[in-house]
Amino acid sequence: MKLNTEKLLMIPGPTMVPNEVLNTMALPIIGHRTADYGALLEDTVDKMKKVFQTKYDAHLITGSGTAAMDMAISNTVDKGDKVLNIVNGNFGDRFYKIANTYKANTMLLDNEWGDMADVEKVKETLEENPDTKVVTIVHNETSTGVKNPIEEIGKVVKDHDAIYIVDTVSSLGGDYVDVDKFNIDICVTGSQKCIAAPPGMAAISVNDKAWEVINKTETKSFYLDIKAYQKKWESSKETPYTPSVSMTYAMNKALEIVLDEGLETRFKRHDKFAEATRAGLEAMGIELFAKERARSVTVTSALYPEGISDKDFRGTLNNDYDVLVAGGQAHLKGKIFRVGHMGSVKEHHILGTLALIEAGLKKLGYDAGCGVDVAKDYLL
């Protein structure tokens, strides 16, 4: 089977992976119950904690970010427990579905797709429901190109003594996240977004407050039993089940690259790329979807101009120019497209993508303005 591996991935994950990360996956496999692997895992977890910005426990899971979401819910929620799910996109809704799977008494706090979650509504809901056990939210909704005010909501949740679970799958390592400062009790992330490793590994951080709840909650999963992970870690610096050795190599190198660049520098780079992408699209006459106050720094969502179909536009970019951008999800399918600008993306990737979006739109009969010249002012 012949694959085209030369595509420019400008989607909200998986993202392009640096060669030095890919090369580590060609290293020889080592035994996962050996001192060598234990040292590798311990070093990787230490790096992971630095990126989370937490002093508390962290674990790596062989699986996608959804596995970490599942672990967070299944280990904190018993049947009938009240869970507040803050939703303004497809992945916030995923937390809601997971909580329902474990028979929680779920409260759906729905917000407009395209805008951030309302902090005051969160506060009001918790005041009306003081027995709420868990609150979930997604920091960066890739489905809509929106980021939520997780620091402000963290202060509200702390005052109401619920467990605060935050999905940072598409923001950690690209946007400002400080797990301890933001009062996040459980934070989950994935390998294939801002961290710029291949898909297949997730991470979860857990503080002391969360452990108090976990230790009183009935375990509902075998593979995702976090108490088993903690027990094995404390006894031998291992995972309870066979991990992906190759992915651990990759995560270790990818996290090293993140830390070598510096978190603050990395945040500023992502912010600059987001501004350039937005400005470039607007210069073409494209209307952005997310409200200005809520726009993500890792993915930009935009409305299709009248007469431009999703199939034709993304098909042209993919088939004619080897550039992948994402379409809309759920009720936004066919209405928006999404450009990812996270991880190892460089200036030339942003400028090249904007130039080809412009070319693709013109090919389809839309008189797009020049976005590259505007974007250059942000990048060069």
Among residues 216, 241, 260, the one where a domain terminates is 260
239 with 274, same domain? no
pLDDT higher than threshold 90 for residue 328: yes
Asked whether residue 368 is domain-assigned, the answer is: yes
Report the domain count for the chain.
2
Query: What is the predicted pLDDT for the residue at 65?
Result: 98
pLDDT higher than threshold 80 for residue 84: yes
- Which residue type is seen at 137? I
- Are the CB atoms for 24 and 151 separated by under 8 Å? no
Which letter does DSSP use for residue 175 in this model? Answer: B
206 with 297, same domain? no
195 with 237, same domain? yes
Asked whether residue 75 is domain-assigned, the answer is: yes
Asked whether residue 280 is domain-assigned, the answer is: yes
220 with 330, same domain? no
Q: How far apart are CA 166 and CA 152, in angstroms?
A: 13
Asked whether residue 3 is domain-assigned, the answer is: no
Q: How far apart are CA 333 and CA 104, in angstroms?
A: 30
Asked whether residue 316 is domain-assigned, the answer is: yes
247 with 373, same domain? no
Q: Which domain holds residue 312?
A: 8-13+262-379
309 with 361, same domain? yes
282 with 176, same domain? no
pLDDT higher than threshold 80 for residue 369: yes
Among residues 218, 233, 260, the one where a domain terminates is 260
63 with 199, same domain? yes
pLDDT band at 2 (very low <50, low <70, confident <90, very high): confident
Number of C-beta neighbours around residue 102 at 10 A? 20
251 with 276, same domain? no
CATH of the domain at 46: 3.40.640.10
Asked whether residue 1 is domain-assigned, the answer is: no
91-140 tens-digit pLDDT = 999 999 999 999 999 999 999 999 999 999 999 999 999 999 999 999 99
CATH of the domain at 287: 3.90.1150.10
234 with 303, same domain? no
pLDDT higher than threshold 80 for residue 330: yes
Query: What is the predicted pLDDT for the residue at 6?
Result: 85
pLDDT band at 240 (very low <50, low <70, confident <90, very high): very high
pLDDT band at 226 (very low <50, low <70, confident <90, very high): very high
Mean pLDDT of the chain: 97
pLDDT higher than threshold 90 for residue 166: yes
pLDDT higher than threshold 80 for residue 269: yes
281 with 252, same domain? no
- Are the CB atoms for 205 and 163 separated by under 8 Å? no
Asked whether residue 278 is domain-assigned, the answer is: yes
Query: What is the predicted pLDDT for the residue at 24?
Result: 98
Name the 3-class secondary structure at 87: strand
Farthest CA pair distance, the chain: 64
Among residues 240, 260, 280, the one where a domain terminates is 260
Asked whether residue 344 is domain-assigned, the answer is: yes
37-81 tens-digit pLDDT = 999 999 999 999 999 999 999 999 999 999 999 999 999 999 999
Average pLDDT over residues 279-286: 98
List of residues 6+ apart from 204 with CB closer than 8 A: 58, 59, 61, 68, 71, 72, 186, 187, 188, 189, 226
pLDDT band at 209 (very low <50, low <70, confident <90, very high): very high
255 with 302, same domain? no
pLDDT band at 3 (very low <50, low <70, confident <90, very high): confident
